């Protein structure tokens, strides 16, 4: 075969392969990507389906419209300790726990001793307090003697002033040493005395990280014990910044947890945060919820329904219309000419099969509500 014949055969083979591919796609009825204009690249988030394609029968399109805001605004949340009724115990000194007087789940009273500690530091503080007491006694006598000598003219005013200053310093040193001991709950000067950590409120021991005989440090990050009053808990919820005007301080809330189907826990909004999380674009809302039977456990997941003011209109779509790629939510918007385009949106939580669109969509736009997943796969694999 000549070189000219070889080139001709190659061109024929390439042309035949292209024709076969076009015929195959046409027979399969697959969606075709919208033809791009000369010099213009086709967007990677867009696909076009020709009129009459059987694929259109699997696609349902609805027009986005606004509706009245719901009477209840659902918010994701979790149960936590009421920090106003919680005490975390750290060791005030380096030493050793000689006795742990409570265990997990114990109910304690305010003022009750929980842990007893011993430490060489206690002896050092007691010795310092004893010395300060003796120094103060000597300084007091010196002041009395100086005043008598001053009356006889046997001592200068400068020397008297120095003796009085020494007396004041001795008195301050004793006060400082005594305050250290009082802060540890030690009042008597006894080298064998131990330091007792006492509760400042009544509640339940919910965490214990200390054992008898364990060495403890004053700078430890983990508390030895955590005590809280579980008769009331906090539920921390996340509200999108677009919904802040729907949630007010003091508003009644209803809390639901997966552990108790059908049961609700009433409460109220106690605090609305002042900072927006830069990642989630949400604000923390703190709800106070009575918990007399301790059914709500800290770290439980919860759904918080806040009673909202009526009158605001919001944009809502069926949940099936919203896709999630693991990073952000997206929808498929239907455009003229059989063109479908992906679009990123911000959405609220799913409520009874519907989600509220917070941003990314305008009323009157047409959105794919059935078949969005198939179109998304076609777009990603085109």
What is the arithmetic mean of pLDDT over 163-189? 69
Q: Is pLDDT above 90 for 83? A: yes
Class of domain 85-226: mainly beta
Q: How far apart are CA 237 and CA 262, in angstroms?
A: 20
Helix (H, G, I), strand (E, B) or coil at 194: coil
Q: For residue range 313-370, what is the model confidence (pLDDT) as tens digits?
A: 778 888 888 988 777 889 999 988 888 999 999 887 776 777 888 888 999 899 998 8
Class of domain 46-69+313-381: mainly beta
Average pLDDT, the chain: 79
Q: What pLDDT is stored for residue 156 in this prediction?
A: 81
Per-residue CA distances from 206 to 182, 222, 291, 381 (Å): 28, 14, 15, 53
- Evaluate whether 229 touches 85 at the Cβ level (below 8 Å): yes
CATH level 3 topology of 72-82+229-307: Elongation Factor Tu (Ef-tu); domain 3 (2.40.30)
Q: For residue range 283-310, what is the model confidence (pLDDT) as tens digits?
A: 999 999 999 999 999 999 999 998 766 5
Q: How far apart are CA 309 and CA 357, in angstroms?
A: 19
Q: Where are the domains of the chain?
A: 46-69+313-381, 72-82+229-307, 85-226
- Please tell me the pTM assigned to this model: 0.57
Q: Is pLDDT above 70 for 98? A: yes
Q: Given pLDDT bands bounded at 50, 70 and 90, which one contains residue 87?
A: very high
Lowest mean pLDDT among 33-47, 197-211, 326-340: 33-47
Q: What pLDDT is stored for residue 125 in this prediction?
A: 66
**Where does residue 203 rank: exposed (0-12), middle (13-18), buried (19+ CB within 10 A)?**
buried
Between helices 120-151 and 157-183, what is the axis angle to 10°? 160
Per-residue CA distances from 44 to 29, 31, 325 (Å): 21, 15, 16
- Evaluate whether 181 touches 191 at the Cβ level (below 8 Å): no
Closest to 332 (Cα-Cα) out of 276, 372, 288:
372
Lowest mean pLDDT among 105-114, 224-233, 367-376: 367-376
Closest to 116 (Cα-Cα) out of 133, 101, 135, 138:
101
Q: How far apart are CA 116 and CA 132, in angstroms?
A: 26
Q: What pLDDT is stored for residue 104 in this prediction?
A: 93
Could you say which DSSP state residue 110 is in?
T
Q: Given pLDDT bands bounded at 50, 70 and 90, which one contains residue 112?
A: very high
- Evaluate whether 345 touches 335 at the Cβ level (below 8 Å): no
What is the arithmetic mean of pLDDT over 141-166? 81
Q: For residue range 1-23, what is the model confidence (pLDDT) as tens digits?
A: 444 444 334 443 343 343 333 33
Helix (H, G, I), strand (E, B) or coil at 142: helix
Q: Is pLDDT above 60 for 142? A: yes
């Amino acid at each position: 075969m000549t070189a000219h014949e070889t080139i001709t055969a190659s061109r024929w083979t390439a042309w035949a392969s292209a024709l076969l591919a076009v015929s195959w796609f046409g027979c399969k009825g697959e969606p075709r990507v919208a033809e791009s204009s000369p010099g213009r690249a086709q967007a990677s988030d867009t696909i076009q389906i020709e009129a009459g394609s059987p694929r259109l029968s699997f696609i349902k399109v609805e027009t986005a419209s606004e509706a009245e805001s719901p009477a209840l605004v659902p918010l994701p949340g979790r149960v936590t300790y009421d920090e106003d009724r919680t005490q975390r115990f750290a060791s005030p000194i380096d030493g050793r726990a000689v006795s742990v007087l409570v265990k997990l789940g114990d109910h304690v009273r305010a003022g009750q001793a929980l842990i007893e500690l011993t430490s060489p530091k206690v002896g050092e503080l007691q010795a310092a307090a004893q010395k300060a007491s003796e120094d103060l006694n000597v300084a007091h006598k010196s002041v009395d003697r100086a005043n008598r000598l001053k009356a006889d003219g046997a001592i200068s005013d400068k020397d008297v002033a120095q003796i009085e200053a020494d007396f004041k310093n001795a008195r301050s040193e004793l006060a400082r040493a005594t305050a250290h001991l009082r802060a540890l709950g030690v009042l008597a000067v006894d080298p064998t005395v131990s330091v007792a950590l006492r509760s400042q409120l009544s509640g339940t021991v919910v965490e214990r990280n200390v054992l008898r005989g364990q060495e403890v440090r004053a700078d430890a990050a983990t508390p030895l014990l955590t005590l809280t009053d579980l008769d009331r808990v906090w539920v921390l919820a996340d509200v999108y910044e677009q919904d802040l005007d729907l949630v007010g301080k003091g508003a009644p809330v209803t809390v639901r947890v997966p552990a108790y189907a059908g049961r609700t826990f009433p409460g109220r909004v106690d605090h609305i945060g002042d900072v927006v999380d830069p990642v989630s674009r949400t604000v923390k809302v703190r709800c106070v919820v009575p918990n007399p039977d301790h059914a709500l456990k800290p770290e439980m997941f919860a759904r918080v329904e806040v009673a909202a003011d009526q009158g605001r209109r919001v944009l809502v779509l069926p949940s099936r219309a919203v896709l999630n790629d693991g990073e952000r939510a997206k929808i498929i918007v239907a455009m003229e000419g059989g063109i479908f385009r992906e679009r990123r949106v911000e959405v609220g939580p799913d409520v009874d099969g519907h989600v509220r669109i917070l941003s990314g969509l305008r009323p009157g736009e047409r959105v794919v509500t059935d078949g969005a997943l198939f179109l998304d796969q076609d777009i990603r694999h085109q």
